[in-house]
Amino acid sequence: MLKIENISLKVGDFELKNISFNVDAGDYFVILGVSGVGKSVLLESIAGLIDISEGNIFLRGRQITEEKIQNRNISIVYQDTDLFPHLNVFDNIAYPLRSRKEKEIKDKVLKAASETGISDKLDRNISTLSGGEYQRVSLARSLAAGNDIFLLDEPLSSLDPKSKIELRALLRKLNRAGITIVHVTHDYEEAVSLANKIGIMENGTIVHVAPPEQIFQHPKSEFVAKFVGVKNFLRGNVNSIPDSDLKEFLVDGIKIYVLTDSGDGDSFLLINPEEISLSITSEGGSARNHFKGKITDIARAKMGFEVTVDIGKVELIALLSSESVNSLNLEIGNDIWTNFKASACKIYN
Amino acid sequence: MKSFSYNRSVLSLVFTFLGGAALLFIIAPIAGMYLNITPESLRESAYSQEVRDSIWLSLWTSMAGTFLFSFLAVPLAYLLARKNFALKGIVNGIIDIPIIIPHSAAGIAVLGIITRDSLLGSAGELFGIKFIGSPAGIILAMAFVSIPFLINAARDGFAAVPERLEKVALTLGASPARVFFTVSLPLAWRSILSGFILMWARGMSEFGAVIIVAYNPKTAPILIYERFTSYGLKYSLPAAVVFVTVCLLIFIVLRLIKRKS
């Protein structure tokens, strides 16, 4: 669908170097990187808003590197500043439509609005929209333009948590309906919950492209490991348990109890290292998960120590204070119990 | 903390006093004009054909100049707001030249390009357009001294339109021309209208440049000047008051329209 081949460019202090990646039709490709790494510049260069100095861009097999912006058929959606303030919602969505027949335009606007859930907001002024509504209008306009590839520049970062969840669901829906999405963000949760492929961006280039589980379980560089800040990231299956509000997450024969309202099936599990406690004997208390394992590593972290425990095919990392490490006499090779609550387990599916 | 707010209140008191004096400096001479005039002389002036003709001439020539030159000024303003090119700073400076040079000198400069020997003058003659001593010359003289106001206001207006909106419009399949007319121009419209009003008002009141290019037909400023030098203050004042009143009324109406839009 979209093939980026060795593109390089320089704008002001920004420099992108030799960026290459492929996005297949139907992909949800998330580019993950810290703020200021050049993610937006990359998107704008794909859309043609910024000229590249080297490399090639192919869309649907066609070379578009030198193509005019208006002929690329790529939509770009920004955080919150891309609607035309002098037009109302209807006219914004209708902007890309060129037809002599008013009815044809109206039908297309209504269809795009209903797909994005803003059918009742068509008469509204842009300045009266909430953050979530704003993004929906922007997506509706891109749908009306008839483009099947959307570039999203941090589309969720200015939204409140509730709108964020709703908009994520909408993005998934659009993706399932056949829209290919390239989405840049600095938020790994967003990446995990949406992407089927993640590209990690560092120092003006893409350093690693892979499915989420590979990115987080086997970070290719120290930067990735540090930047994503993700530990205890597992891929497995969620199953409901009859007569219980808990569910079980199965990974490599290990059963972890989780408290979640996510549906069953293929999922990612995430446990913050702060949420895992270690003990010499199996703890009682409210934690539902207890696994006996062997300490394979003790490493100094920014604060305290990260203790890695192998519980059989799966490694868990716990963050402990140096006092705890000393009082438990933790050493590599020791047997130890790991304990964590079912509610400490975050599920993404 | 107390002494801080005390200082501040003293400061604002001083500033209010100084600012009030500045405001008075603007209001007092104009109010004085109205106070020094008798209703009879004012009525006489308002009904005088000569005064009416001169005011009408000032209004329409300035409006025509503003309208005609806006087709050149607005595109230039857009380029200055959006494109970076060599010597852009110098171009911006050139635009302000008509504001800083003496207006009689501006009139002489304009005269230079409209005499029969000049390109514009001879071209005009070919089509039967006379510049010197005619409304066409007045239009050019007025436009020369007032066009910086429109260019500068429009440039600031375009610069304030987020470039991102224009780019987004392009990604939605619009041509650059369509983007200009449907996004840039509507969003910069307020500033352009402001510039339009300023250029019109400035052109309308121009004296120095116009008198050199065309003493006749007489625009209102020239008529006021002529009456003053020939007959004195008493005779020129009523004409001046009528013209100032018309200017003020137009100015107020346009400001109201602008605020509404």
Per the model's pLDDT, the better-predicted residue between A147 and B72 turns out to be B72
Is the domain defined by A233-348 classed in CATH 2.40.50.100? yes
C-alpha span between A311 and A213 (Å, rounded): 19
pLDDT of A228 reads 53
Is there a contact between A84 and B167 if contact means CB atoms under 8 Å apart?
no
CA distance A78 to chain B (A): 9
User: Measured between beta carbons, which residues in chain A are less than 8 angstroms from residue B177?
Assistant: none
Which pLDDT belongs to residue A301? 74
- Provide the pLDDT for residue B1: 47
Evaluate if residue A327 carries a pLDDT over 60: yes
CATH of the domain at B122: 1.10.3720.10
CB of A94 closer than 8 Å to CB of A122: no
Residues B93 and B193 in one domain: yes
Three-class SS of chain A:
CEEEEEEEEEECCEEEEEEEEEECCCCEEEEECCCCCCHHHHHHHHHCCCCCCEEEEEECCEECCCCCHHHCCCEEECCCCCCCCCCCHHHHHHCCCCCCCHHHHHHHHHHHHHHCCCHHHCCCCHHHCCHHHHHHHHHHHHHHCCCCEEEEECCCCCCCHHHHHHHHHHHHHHHHCCCEEEEEECCHHHHHHHCCEEEEEECCEEEEEECHHHHHHCCCCHHHHHHHCCCCEEEEEEEECCCCCCEEEEECCEEEEECCCCCCEEEEEEECHHHCEEECCCCCCCCCEEEEEEEEEEEECCCCEEEEEECCCCEEEEEECHHHHHHCCCCCCCEEEEEECHHHEEEEC
Q: Indicate if B110 and B218 belong to the same structural domain.
A: yes
Residue B253 lies in a domain: yes
Fold of A2-228: Rossmann fold (3.40.50)
User: A144: nearest CA in chain B?
Assistant: B172
Residue in chain B nearest A95 by alpha carbon: B172
ipTM for the whole complex: 0.79
Q: Chain B: nearest CA to A146, how far in angstroms? A: 9
Q: Average pLDDT, stretch A242-250?
A: 91
Q: What's the CA gap between B201 and A238, in Å, rounded? A: 75
Average pLDDT of the residues in B201-218: 92
Are B59 and B188 part of one and the same domain? yes
What pLDDT is stored for residue B187 in this prediction?
Answer: 95
What are the chain B neighbours of A47 within 8 Å (beta carbons)? 167, 171
Size of interface A-B (CB pairs under 8 A): 55
Residue B44 covered by a domain: no
Contact A63, A230 (CB under 8 A): no
> Residue B203: which domain range?
50-260
- How far from the centroid of its chain's Cα atoms is residue B25's Cα? 22
**Residue B146 lies inside a defined structural domain of this protein:** yes
- Across the interface, whether the CB atoms of A95 and B165 are under 8 A apart is answered no
Interface test with B, best of A64, A69, A75, A87 (most B CBs within 10 A): A69
User: Bigger pLDDT: B250 or B5?
Assistant: B250
User: With an 8 Å Cβ cutoff, are B173 and A47 in contact?
Assistant: no
Chain A contact set for B162 (CB, 8 A): 81
* A296/B contact by beta carbon, under 8 A: no
Judged by CB atoms closer than 8 Å, whether chains meet at B187 and A85 is answered as yes
A84/B162 CB distance under 8 A = no
Same domain, residue pair B22 and B105: no
Beta strands in chain B (DSSP E): none
| Pairwise CB contact (< 8 Å): A76 & B171 | yes
Q: Is residue B116 part of a domain?
A: yes
| Residue B10 counted as domain residue | yes
CATH 2.40.50.100 residue ranges in chain A?
233-348
**Local structure of residue B219 (DSSP, 8 states):** P
Cβ contact B171–A70 (<8 Å): yes
8 Å CB contact between A51 and A31? no
Of B165, B170, B182, the CB nearest to A69: B170
Query: What does the alpha-carbon distance between residue B28 and residue B155 come to, in Å, rounded to a whole number?
Result: 34
Residue B3 has pLDDT above 60, yes or no: no
Task: Tell me which of A6-10, B77-81, B105-109 is least confident.
Answer: A6-10
C-alpha distances (whole Å) from A186 to each of A27, A153, A229, A270, B152 are 19, 10, 12, 18, 40
Whole-number Å distance between alpha carbons of B122 and B117 = 6
Eight-state DSSP code of residue B101: S
> Do residues B202 and B242 both lie within one domain?
yes
Of A44, A48, A141, which is closest to B172 when you measure between CB atoms?
A141
The A265-271 sheet, strands edge to edge: A254-258, A247-251, A233-240, A265-271, A345-348
Asked whether residue B157 is assigned to any structural domain, the reply reads yes
**What is the average per-residue pLDDT within B117-136?**
85
**3-state DSSP helix/strand/coil percent for chain B, to nearest 5?**
85, 0, 15
Outline which parts of chain A fall under CATH 3.40.50.300: 2-228
pLDDT in tens, B22-69: 999 999 999 999 998 888 888 888 888 999 999 999 999 999 999 999
Q: Tokens in use for A215?
A: 């990115």
Structural domain contains residue B42: no
Q: Which residue has the higher pLDDT, B210 or B261?
A: B210
Name the closest residue on chain A to residue B174, using Cα atoms.
A70
Assigned domain for B149 exists? yes
C-alpha distance from B175 to closest chain A C-alpha (Å): 6
Q: What pLDDT, on the 0 to 100 scale, is given for residue B82?
A: 93
Average pLDDT over residues A128-148: 92
Q: Residue A114: is its pLDDT beyond 70?
A: yes
Q: Over the stretch A20-54, which tens digit does the pLDDT of each residue have?
A: 999 999 999 999 888 878 888 899 999 998 888 89
What is the percent of chain B with per-residue pLDDT over 90, rounded to a whole number?
Answer: 70
Domains in chain B, number: 2
Q: Which residue, A289, A283, A300, is CA-closest to A246? A: A289
